[in-house]
Amino acid sequence: MRPLKRILQSETVHGIFCWLASLYIRLVYHTGEWQVIGGDIPKQFWSEGRPFILAFWHGRLLMMPCCWDQGKTIYMLISQHRDGQLIARTVGHFGIKTAAGSSSRGGAQALRTMVKAMKSGDYVGVTPDGPRGPRMRASEGIVSVARLSGAPVIPAAFGSTNGRCLSSWDRFLVAWPFGRRVLVWGNPIYVDRDASEEDTEKYRRQVEDALNAVTNEADRLTGRALVKPAAAKGEGGVI
């Protein structure tokens, strides 16, 4: 292994990178002017100690750690590949715990971890189009979590007047410091415990449509061009 490659793959370098990433997120958060739409929705659940599933698209991950009540424990579903582990270490600086798994590795164990967490009164976060897309298309995994736990799905998205959508598959939004931000919360979506296969598809579309609605509203309020969903295919559900 070449020296540079070995250094870049070292745990020390990864740790420093994730720490710096967390500092950048805090910088963007504290230098921005924030407007919250629908903030009473999660506050009611937090104040009553009622668990819910936070859902947001993979491309809106950057600022979500700062939009959470730091006094409430949340588990984020994180993929087991390298990028997922870097994200896990970064959000860990905000007190966010992780459940590792994906549709191909560790998915059943991650599902059990999330359901157990909500049964204990904690919260869960899921990016239904992760880890590789298609962009802004929800997988059925989030419906399964909601059905088994009895907790509702609450969609959310942030927008920023300054920043850039990368050319990555998820059109990841990187916000710059000193901009105006908007955080939009949607209404809770409940999934029937006895949902049939046909019902599952109905709920999946409901979650997908709600997430696209709050994302479009966040972009509209910050003057950004709307990001179009990718063609529907494949499966996702984790970061």
Sorted by sequence, the CB contacts under 8 Å of residue 19 that are 6+ apart come out as 93
Among candidate residues 110, 57, 84, the one with its CA nearest the CA of residue 227: 57
Convert the pLDDT of each residue in 192-228 to its tens digit. Answer: 999 888 899 999 999 999 999 999 999 999 999 999 9
pTM flag (> 0.85) = yes
Convert the pLDDT of each residue in 122-131 to its tens digit. Answer: 999 999 998 8
Provide the pLDDT for residue 3: 53
Provide the pLDDT for residue 239: 59
Q: Which residue has the higher pLDDT, 136 or 70?
A: 136
Among candidate residues 119, 66, 76, 82, the one with its CA nearest the CA of residue 100: 76
Pair 209, 195: CB distance under 8 Å? no
Convert the pLDDT of each residue in 47-74 to its tens digit. Answer: 999 999 999 999 999 999 998 998 999 9
Provide the pLDDT for residue 107: 66
List the end-to-end C-alpha distance of the chain, in Å, as a whole number.
29
